[in-house]
Chains A and B, each alone.
Chain A
Amino acid sequence: MQAFISHAGRVAALPRANVDTDQIIPKQFLKRIERTGFGECLFYDWRYLADGSSNPDFELNRPAAADATILLAGANFGCGSSREHAPWALSDYGFRAIVAPSFADIFFGNCCQNGLLPVVLPELEVKELLRRAAGAQKFYQLGIDLKSCRVRDGAGFDVGFVIDPYRREMLLHGLDEIGRTLQQESRIAAFERSRLASREASVS
């Protein structure tokens, strides 16, 4: 997995609540058997008009959102389907982090599995970021540091965030979770033996 230590980049604002994974990556793109190439289909139904041309009204198509690597989103971002194609598409598009007041559980975990940092900030702070992004001259930039767990814009916004220490560790070092679990082999094997034994005891 790609590690996340710190990142600075342009911000794209998508101030909508309950953005579901069907919007992030519509189902017609879930038939691929690879992990890559989903970026083009990100937010497909919002991003493109029915004739396939770019929808100028969609937030990510505005000039200020060009080359953004940080997504500023609304509450309960990523609700709905468990499809990991959603974080794959966001990463493939170029996002490294998402800042929102809250995330859906499965989506949050899926992001962490892919080095895409989900940052939870209080609703008021997200509002403040949205205000700053809307008022920026051309682009709005943020820096996110996972070591110190802070989000800064270099212009007075400097706020801490909380993330589960285990997730933080995995992200900072880009650790392979399967490899870590396999180190518990003796425990897993012991667990299996004890269950098998109790099952057999109960029928004999």
Chain B
Amino acid sequence: MARTLFTKVWDSHVVHQPDGGPALLYVDLHLVHEVTSPQAFEGLRLAGRKVRRPELTVATVDHNVSTGDRRLPMADETAARQVAALVANAREAGVELFDLDSPEQGIVHVIGPELGLTQPGMVIVCGDSHTSTHGAFGALAFGIGTSEVEHVLATQCTVQSKPRTMEARFTGLPARGVSAKDLVLALIRRIGTAGATGHVIEYTGEAIRALSMEGRMTVCNMSIEAGARAGMVAPDGTTRAYLAGRARAPRGERWAPAVEAWSDLYTDAGATFDRTVVIEAGALAPQVTWGTSPGMTAEITDRVPDPADAPSEAERQSCRQALAYMDLLPGTPLEGIRVDRVFLGSCTNGRLEDLREAATVARGQRVATGVRAMVVPGSQAVKAAAEREGLDHIFREAGFEWRNPGCSMCLGMNEDVLAPGERCASTSNRNFEGRQGRGGRTHLMSPAMAAAAAVAGHLVDVRGLMRGKSGEYAD
């Protein structure tokens, strides 16, 4: 029978399927970080249980760590205690840990792929909703809660009801200045933040095929922002080229059989999805959010919407609340909204390619007066690679701060937070109230758009800047 990519990966991991109940799925890779794991390890200890497969479990510290000077001890005592708990738990369980001093440290969803741990056809879980990122490789990857983390530690399996499937097809190719981030924001804008609840999305179409692995990760990363359990892209030559030679990817004599095993990972002709959404990629402008949920997105050429135009009372009310929180008036052109801060980073857009795109815009420019802009590479490896290319110089010379890797102002668990009322152009994934700091106002956008906002001091259509310096933007 013709099957979707999702179904193939699902089927090959079913350990047990009781009649009418959820399946027991085998987990190939369990990623662990400091915030959602301490209670799970504690639960194991209390029940006298062990980590079943420590060698399939990999831990790092990312969420609460400082992006400042790593030679200094962590100033935040509770955060330090949480990091210490992970260090102790990993040691006790025999789980590999990339700690603050490790050259492999970074945001969990950045290091999995760059180490080659993330591979096509795997089931990957992590106590973090953006685990969907790893689906870019044709893995089935989803976020779980701490109780489920404990379950996976103890059993290497997870109990899951089979989700439905959705195809998000992006036809045509995006214009210059329109990136992976814009594709996924446009999707969330179309279907809403609960639009894919209960579904696994497979991203298809010419625009997805043309994306680099980094771009596919950006798209899959934000699947959760559409409510999806996971996002997936069928592996292809781009995937293989990315993985070849990575430290933990199959190497030597194991490479060819692995490639052979991955060759079946695509949706068969004739297989059907429960739902299909088609988006014309070629018609999109750069996207930016104006409200307090990722679905509250518009094209940069649009204006702040009028709550009166929303179709239902509930939507009118949430639109009014969002505009009040964001301190925006209906009808204001988005281009021109002033920003105080710019954040380049996160598991959505903290990879080398993202930094390159932003650097292309920042090169030879200055961050506008009164704007504080920071670049937080997604991992130590991204940081080192960017420094080898001199990107740090470009950013520093333009007046950006160049910081150490971590989640940073994506969620503001460390000292990188917005002050109340500050407005931020951010490459992260959530513009929820207070996400980047209590009272802070977040506008989500692509790295190039965020860099452009830093230079202009306000939201701006990066395509205009690109025309201005066309020579430097040759593909």
What mask results when residues 58 to 88 of chain A are scored 1 for a CB within 8 Å of chain B, else 0? Answer: 0000000000000000111001111110010
Contact at B257–A203, with CB atoms within 8 Å?
yes
Judge whether A114 is part of the interface by a CB distance below 8 angstroms.
yes
Contact count A vs B, C-beta below 8 Å: 165
Q: Could you say which of A16, A50, A79, A165 has the most chain B C-beta atoms within 10 Å of its C-beta? A: A79
Contact at B36–A18, with CB atoms within 8 Å?
no
Contact at A31–B229, with CB atoms within 8 Å?
no
Q: In the complex, A82 Cα to B143 Cα: how many Å?
A: 7
Contact at B433–A74, with CB atoms within 8 Å?
no
In angstroms, how far is the closest chain A Cβ from the Cβ of B199?
9
Contact at A27–B193, with CB atoms within 8 Å?
no
What mask results when residues 16 to 28 of chain A are scored 1 for a CB within 8 Å of chain B, else 0? Answer: 1110101100111
How many interface residues does chain A have, given as a range? 35 or more
How many interface residues does chain B have, given as a range? 35 or more
Contact at A105–B435, with CB atoms within 8 Å?
no
Residues of A within 8 A of B154 (CB): 178, 181-182
Residue of B nearest to A191 (CB): B15
Residues of A within 8 A of B293 (CB): 18, 20
Contact at A79–B193, with CB atoms within 8 Å?
yes
Q: In the complex, A195 Cα to B122 Cα: how many Å?
A: 12
Q: In the complex, A30 Cα to B39 Cα: how many Å?
A: 11
What mask results when residues 122 to 155 of chain B are scored 1 for a CB within 8 Å of chain A, else 0? Answer: 0000011100000000000001111110110011
Judge whether B271 is part of the interface by a CB distance below 8 angstroms.
no
Q: In the complex, A167 Cα to B16 Cα: how many Å?
A: 17
Within 8 A of A (CB), among B397-421: 411-413, 420
**Which listed segment binds B: A5-13, A32-40, A136-144, A150-158?**
A32-40
Contact at B432–A33, with CB atoms within 8 Å?
no
In angstroms, how far is the closest chain B Cβ from the Cβ of A75?
7
Contact at B434–A23, with CB atoms within 8 Å?
yes
Q: Which of B64, B79, B144, B260 contacts A82 (CB 8 A)?
A: B144
What mask results when residues 40 to 53 of chain A are scored 1 for a CB within 8 Å of chain B, else 0? Answer: 00000100001000
* Residues of B that sit less than 8 Å from A by CB: 15-16, 20-22, 24, 26, 35-36, 38-39, 42, 47, 49, 63-64, 76, 78-79, 81-82, 85, 127-129, 143-148, 150-151, 154-157, 159, 161, 193-194, 197-198, 224, 227, 229, 253-254, 257, 260-261, 293, 314-315, 318, 321, 411-413, 420, 430, 432-435, 438-439
List 11 interface pairs A-B (beta carbons < 8 Å), by A numbering.
A16-B321, A23-B433, A28-B413, A45-B433, A45-B438, A75-B194, A81-B128, A83-B145, A110-B145, A166-B161, A192-B156
* Residues of A that sit less than 8 Å from B by CB: 16-18, 20, 22-23, 26-28, 30-35, 45, 50, 74-76, 79-84, 87, 102, 104-106, 109-110, 113-114, 164-166, 177-178, 181-182, 184, 187-188, 191-192, 195, 202-203
